[in-house]
Structure 1
Amino acid sequence: MASVVIEKPGVMRRQETECQPPEAGEVCIQVEYAGICGSDLHIYHGANPFAVYPRVVGHEFVGKIVAVGEGVDPGRKGERVAVDPVISCGHCYPCSIKRPNVCENLVVLGVHRDGGFADFVCVPATNAWPVPRSIPAEIAVTIEPYSVAANVTQRTGVYPNDVALVYGAGPAGMTIIDVLRHVWQVPVIVIDKNEQRLEKAQRCGANWVFNNSHGSVAEFLQQQKLLPTLIIDVVCHPSILEEAVTLISPAGRIGLLGFSASPSSVIQQELTRRELTLYSSRLNCRMFSTVIKWMEQELIHPKNIISHVFDIQDIDSAMHLADSKADGVCKVLLKFPHTSE
């Protein structure tokens, strides 16, 4: 089988490897589509502190079950499934309180264990979520990124009278904007430095957009008479958290999606004076079923975030484009030759 391997930071190649049969409790999936995530690019650049090399990357993927291991219902063969990349131990403290996404023994497909940039991949059967026939594979591949948006909004909570502010209108930011506007139906302010991304955010439902390379976010909010009660930081530059603390309403919530190794100089007085709450969010905590329901009900709009589709043979071009952040680029997908759609 063919797979895309990142040997070490900056070194990526396609290679042929033997297709291994699934172990007990596993299924073997013939991959149809995979999505390129910022995390994959971070692994390529050596900027993901959790990655183990060499690694077949890819944690956003969908395909069909072609083989099952011992203990798995043979009737699952032929199912189209989306794969949750979060593999947890089930017995540590986080798992015991239903937080498997921060399991003490966490394994993430495409990071700690080979992922979906391959013709075939074996995963735990419990991580393979059946996709209804009404959801095509090209849409189902976005279940994982939408599960990340579902997770952070579940962590922070979204109230009917919220005014949300989202820092970042890239692929992750766009899923959050979609969820906030069309699932939770709250007004959304979007901050970014890329005009085309801001235009796309507006087309996808953002109520207000502002380019913070052109001026002060605080002044913009003041001019518009806006006071955000919920801020979600997708960019995660240390300065953004410092700014968010000064912009948000008393009793507001701040969600952090991503990670930075650099410290933020947050003034504790501001946190306590207005009783702010900070929520960090990693991956997703069993949110696939929720996102699948949203897709069935057409509450979210994955087509709006998909900008490019490349054949897997063109992986170099696809990764380069996704990394370029060029105008018009949002979610870049990889299509495999045995895709049935």
Structure 2
Amino acid sequence: MRAIQIAEPKTLKRIEIDAPASPTAGQALVKTHRMGVCGTDISCYLGKFPFFDFPRIPGHELGVEVIAVGEGVTNIKPGDRCSVEPYMNCGKCYACRHGAMNCCQNLKVIGVMTDGGLCDSFLVRAAKLHVSNKLSYDQLALVETLAIGCHANDRGAPGSGEFGAKDHALIIGMGPIGLATLEFAKLTGATISVMDMNEARLDFVRQNYGIENTILFRGDGSEMERIAELTDGDKYQVVTDATGNKHSMASALNHLAPTGRLVYVGITTEEVSFKHPTLHRPEATLLASRNALPPDFTRIISLIEEGAINTDPWITHRTQFDSVLDDFESFTEPDSNVIKAVIELS
């Protein structure tokens, strides 16, 4: 059976693996039709992701077809189209017992900590499959990315504001996770600003989301002038940093209004440091956002089906399974202006 493996940093290898066995109780055998390439996949490929071991078959943003189900499975049936919730939690640890399955102490994310879906077919827990026979495989492969943004937005919880006025939220980094956060921030009614160092990404947001409050980060302090202009000097009630860049993450506190909330959704392996008064002076709340929760997947599928989320602008690049080894490196290059690349397996 065909598969592609990240053998070592910056090295992809096409391999042959055994076909999976028949599904046992609680399992499903699924065929991969689409795999989305996300920032995590890029970081794993570059050798920069903290939870990744080589070699590994990647693939956690997936649109799949159910081929067979094991004993006791009732939530899906052969032929169903599904998105995969890739977070394999233990169900027994403190986090799982308290409803935070995304923070499971024994968590295994497929495609990161165990082999993933960049192969013809694989076995997965049936409970981790979310059905929509209305959505395309492309759309289903986008659900996991959107779920990360959904959870990050919920952590910051922008909205109408404590004193009646709308919250003003800033999202830093307009890659896929920042865009996913933006999708859900828009649904809250908050006023939104976005920041990036790539003008093309800001153009993308203006053209596809109608966001005019854009801030180009040049590293010369001009962003602070723009923030003061956009907020009348008040700064932001909610800031979400989706960059995974230690410098951006450290300076994000400077953009908070008093009593504001800062959400880190991007991940870095480096130290993030700031002087304590930067956190203490505004009585800031510092939050992390990790993965997503099962209800996020159900909600997102419904929103896409209803047309409340339009996925059409998302996929900017495509490749076929047989071309992945040739094309993947280009997805890591900033000049390629990739928002979301999708691998077609069938």
Instruction: Assess same fold via TM > 0.5.
Output: yes
Instruction: Using the TM superposition, give the Cα deviation of residue 209 of structure 1 relative to its aligned residue in structure 2, in angstroms.
Output: 1.0
SS at match of 1:221: helix
Closer/same/farther in 2, CA of residues 272 and 335 from structure 1, 3 Å limit: same
TM-superposition CA deviations, 1:57-104 (whole Å, max 9, x none): 010001111011233249611111100000101110011111111101
Range that drifts further, 190-199 or 47-56: 47-56
Distance in 2, matches of 1:130 and 1:37, equals 22
Greater displacement, 218-227 / 39-48: 218-227
Candidates 278, 300, 307, aligned match of 2:309: 300
Question: Which stretch of the first structure deviates more once superposed, 300-309 or 236-245?
Answer: 236-245
5 Å matches for 1:225-304? Answer: 225=232, 227-286=235-294, 287-304=296-313
Separation (CA, whole Å) in 2 of partners of 1:329 and 1:246: 29
Deviation at 1:268, TM superposition (A): 2.1
Aligned residue number for residue 220 of structure 1: 226
3-state DSSP of counterpart to 1:28: strand
Contact 1:30 1:120 in 2 (8 A): yes
Shift of 1:236: 2.7
2:329 maps to 1:328: no
Q: Does 1:9 align with 2:9?
A: yes
The answer to whether 1:185 aligns with 2:189 is yes
Which shows bigger deviation, 75-84 or 215-224?
215-224
Q: Which residue of 2 aligns with 1:137?
A: 137
Query: Secondary structure, in 3 states, of the residue corresponding to 1:303?
Result: coil
* CA root-mean-square deviation: 1.7
SS of 2:332's partner is: helix
Structure 1 ranges of 4+ moved more than 6 A: none
Aligned-partner residue type, residue 117 of structure 2: G
For 1:108 and 1:218, locate their aligned partners in 2 and report how far apart those are by CA, in whole Å: 38
2:322 aligned residue:
313
Letter in 2 for 1:147: A
Q: 1:318 to 1:299 in 2, by over 3 A?
A: farther
Report if the CA contact (8 A) 2:34-2:137 is conserved: yes
Conserved? CA contact 2:147–2:292, under 8 Å: yes
Matched, 1:76 2:67: no
Per-residue CA shift, 1:287-311, capped at 9, x if unaligned? Answer: 1111112112222122112101211
Q: Percent identity?
A: 26
Please identify, of 69-78 and 277-286, the stretch whose mean Cα deviation from structure 2 is larger. 69-78
Q: Deviations along 1:173-218, whole A, 9 cap, x unmatched?
A: 122222212x223222111111111100112232311211164221
Q: Is the 8 A contact 1:6 1:44 kept in 2?
A: yes
Q: Distance in 2 between matches of 1:149 and 1:205?
A: 18
CA contact (8 A) 1:231 1:255 kept: yes
Does the Cα contact within 8 Å between 2:87 and 2:109 map onto a contact in 1? Answer: yes
Residue matched to 2:206: 202
* Ranges in structure 1 where 5+ consecutive residues have no aligned partner: none
- Consecutive unaligned residues of structure 2, counting only runs of 5 or more, are 161-165
The 3-state SS of whatever aligns with 2:341 is strand
The answer (yes or no) to whether the contact 1:197–1:327 under 8 Å persists in 2 is: no
Q: In 1, are the aligned partners of 2:156 and 2:263 still within 8 Å (CA)?
A: yes
Whole-Å separation in 2 of the counterparts to 1:277 and 1:61: 34
- CA gap of 1:74–1:233, structure 2 versus 1, over 3 A, is closer
Contact 1:189 1:208 in 2 (8 A): yes
Task: Indicate the larger mover: 88-97 or 297-306.
Answer: 297-306
Cα distance in 2 between the residues matched to 1:44 and 1:242: 25
Mapped contact 2:243–2:249 kept (Cα < 8 A): no
What is the aligned counterpart of 1:171 among 166, 173, 176? 176
- Counterpart of 2:191 in structure 1: which amino acid? P
Q: Is the 2:149–2:179 contact (alpha carbons within 8 Å) kept by the matching residues of 1?
A: no
Deviation at 1:243, TM superposition (A): 2.0
| Aligned CA distance change for structure 1 residues 165 and 82 (closer, same or farther; 3 Å) | same
Opposite residue 162 of structure 1, the aligned amino acid is: D
Q: Distance in 2 between matches of 1:177 and 1:283?
A: 16
User: What secondary structure sits across from 2:183 in the alignment?
Assistant: helix
For residues 82-93 of structure 1, the aligned pairs below 5 Å read 82-93=83-94
Distance in 2 between the 1:74 and 1:294 partners?
A: 20
The letter for the 2-side match of 1:213 is: R
Give the whole-Å Cα distance in 2 for the aligned partners of 1:98 and 1:74.
21
Q: How much has 1:43 moved relative to structure 2? A: 1.4
Deviation at 1:128, TM superposition (A): 0.7
Aligned length, in residue pairs: 335
Counterpart in the other structure of 1:106: 107
Counterpart CA distance in 2 for 1:270 and 1:48 is 28
Please say if residues 48 and 269 of structure 2, whose CA atoms lie closer than 8 Å, have aligned partners that are also in contact: no
Aligned partner of residue 165 in structure 1, secondary structure: strand
Measure, in 1, the Cα distance between the counterparts of 2:105 and 2:76: 33
Q: Secondary structure at the match of 1:251?
A: strand
Query: 1:187, 1:206 within 8 Å by CA — same for their partners in 2?
Result: no
Aligned to 1:44: 45
| TM-score (norm. length: structure 1) | 0.93
